[in-house]
Amino acid sequence: MHMIIIALDYKNTKQPLTSTVDGRNMEELARASGVNDVRTLYDEQATIENVERLVKDTGSACGPDDYFVFYFAGHGTNMSDETGDEEDGEDEAFCFVTPDGSICNESTMTDDTFAELLQKAIPKKTHILILTDCCHSGSIADLTKEAWDRRRAGSMSISGCLDDQESGDMGKGGIFTQSMLLAIDKLRRKGQLDFSVGKLFNAILREDEKTFNATQTISIHYSRTLEPKDLAWPLVPIGLYEAPLRKAQASGALRNAQITFRGVDDDTGVPDDLTAWAKANGVDLDGDLSDPELEDGWKPYKKRADEITEALEDED
């Protein structure tokens, strides 16, 4: 496995975050999972030029059936779509920085540019997993577009929110990342060493709803090559692992946490529909989800999303 971790706190801006906490936590998970190839960019290191160089260098080390994992924690934004390929007229974009740590239009990378970078740099037989804890990142890699169908390996992304939403920063890291690490912790404590991306996604939804009841909708996107239930989740701790959130809960460090958002605008987002999904599919949210519910639950979740998309297309 080959992993890139990028995290920015934007200390020299008016909208600072605690994303580097997430970056260090992901480094800890990678070490616990036996990952040897972990490459990082923090704060002022995360310029567009450095990101592009790091992706290309990492891609050159990837082989068939390897995993390329891209993790980003920081600000995300919406920008005017210049190519006409976005139905809502807006591109999603990562907010990287200039060498002095500031944000400007020239320091952002749109979803079009990001997708093209990955498609060129990562071999077609290498699995791609994208994890984004930032605002407006639901479709940050445009994985549903036909260009991804030419790849022979699975390409998937799990995002902290939808394109029109914001991801929460609780002052000790991001809601999505903390939920993900807690879900991995719980699955590992159950003795599970092998589970799918789809199963973990549903476990993340469960922890997000149970712990934060957040307004952001953690989402999953993937190319048509493989479905989430068919691709193994690669970051599984080999030995004992304790999620940062479990440690914080034990110490009381989460009390009165102040939530800010990982975007550079004032969008308020929309309510999380996990409770309605659970009720419609007979899932009991009062207790931990059973293995079949975790493994299969994402399918009706996606089915409903597809139905909504089809209805909108019919209206057009």
Taking each helix axis as running N to C, give the angle between helix 111-121 and helix 48-60, from 0 to 180 degrees, rounded to the nearest 10.
30
Judge whether residue 303 has pLDDT over 60.
no
Tokens 């929460």 sit on residue? 168
Q: What is the mean pLDDT of the chain?
A: 80
Rounded to two decimals, the pTM is 0.81
pLDDT in tens, 87-103: 555 788 999 999 998 99
Q: Comparing C-alpha atoms, which of 260, 198, 255 is closest to residue 230?
A: 198
8 A C-beta contact, residue 233 and residue 294: no
| CA–CA dist 243, 230 (Å, integer) | 25
At 25 the pLDDT is 96
Angle at 201 between CA 296 and CA 155, to 5 degrees: 100
The more confident residue out of 44 and 226 is 44
Which residue segments constitute the domains of the chain, with CATH numbers given?
2-272 (3.40.50.1460)
Q: Tell me whether residue 45 is exposed, middle or buried, using C-beta atoms within 10 angstroms of its C-beta: 0 to 12, 13 to 18, 19 or more.
A: middle
The more confident residue out of 249 and 63 is 63
The residues near 99 (Cβ < 8 Å, ≥ 6 apart) are 44, 47
Q: What is the DSSP string of 237-284?
A: -SS----HHHHHHHHTTTTTPPPEESBSS--------HHHHHHHTT--
Pairing mode of beta strands 2-7, 37-42: parallel
At 46 the pLDDT is 97
